[in-house]
Structure 1
Amino acid sequence: MSLCIAAGGKVIALVASSFTLSWSHSTAHTEWWERWEVTAEGLRPVEARILGAGAGMEPPPDAVLKADGWHYRPDLPPQREVFLAASGATGGGWRLCVDEDCRTLGTTEGEPLRLWQADACGADG
């Protein structure tokens, strides 16, 4: 199964059973981190961490504070596709990692990044 990424007019395919996303909020510069599974039903968020809170970024009520931030399990079903907005205001974009293979996406303002799972990735997924 592949994790498909549409960014900058290109489609990238990564063989993956899971991946992580991390980014900094554009206003509060608070670090966010999520781990997702790539399943036959879609992309499923399974774990998340917020380093701090503020400006509409409060951790959910069931979050647990640990040394590296607030930890929680997102309550979302598998998603057929995920869109990531690229505002250009964060200075760093999104960091997507599959195992040790990490890449930065969405560092400049533009059309949204699109993620989905497929056996073979195509632009129309």
Structure 2
Amino acid sequence: MCLALAALAATPAPAPVFVATERFTLAWTHSIEKVRWEEDYAVVRAPEGRVELRALSARVRGSAAGMEPAPDAVLKDGWYSYTPPGLRQPAALRLSRSEFTADYELCTGGQCHALSQWLKSDGGVTVVTACEGSATR
């Protein structure tokens, strides 16, 4: 997968960062409700040969105002788990990052680390895409 900053027009964006993984979990804590969310993704090769993201599953640790679990969610061990509705193959994930909230966590191989371990935040949007391993540093 690749991580890139969606730079402001006047600011050149740094090169995308390649993270060698075929599966990952994106996790965050809602800034107001303090509820943890996790979404699982895979980087897969489409029949046409290109690589793409595929949403596999999601879970939320409880519920809160404006954060109701999906209608098909199942509550187990305090987590509402479900299959993400709608677009299952997003072209990109656009993550708003701010100095005023905790950073997203990227989990690979059973280890979770702040997204800033791979790519520092510029206080704007970070874009996650599927990419070939040779595409970036």
TM-score by length of 2: 0.76
Q: Indicate if the aligned counterparts of 1:40 and 1:117 stay in contact, CA closer than 8 A.
A: no
Unaligned 5+ runs, structure 1: none
In the alignment, which residue of structure 1 is the partner of 2:9? none
Q: Which residue does the alignment assign to 2:93?
A: 82
Q: Whose radius of gyration is greater, 1 or 2?
A: 2
Residue 57 of structure 1: aligned partner:
67
User: Contact conserved, 2:62 with 2:78, CA < 8 A, in 1?
Assistant: no
Deviations 1:81-103 (A, max 9, x none): 1110113333x210001214533
Task: Give a deviation string over 1:23-48, Cα, whole Å, max 9, x none.
Answer: 10000000101110111242111111
Structure 2 alignment gaps of length 5 or more:
6-12, 47-51
Q: Which has the higher helix share?
A: 2
2:105 alignment partner in structure 1: 95
Give the total of aligned pairs: 120
Q: Which residue of 2 aligns with 1:14?
A: 19
Higher strand proportion (structure 1 or 2):
1
Q: CA deviation at 1:108?
A: 6.1
Match of 1:115 in 2: 128
Percent identity (aligned):
32
- SS of 1:36's equivalent? strand
CA RMSD of aligned residues (A): 2.3
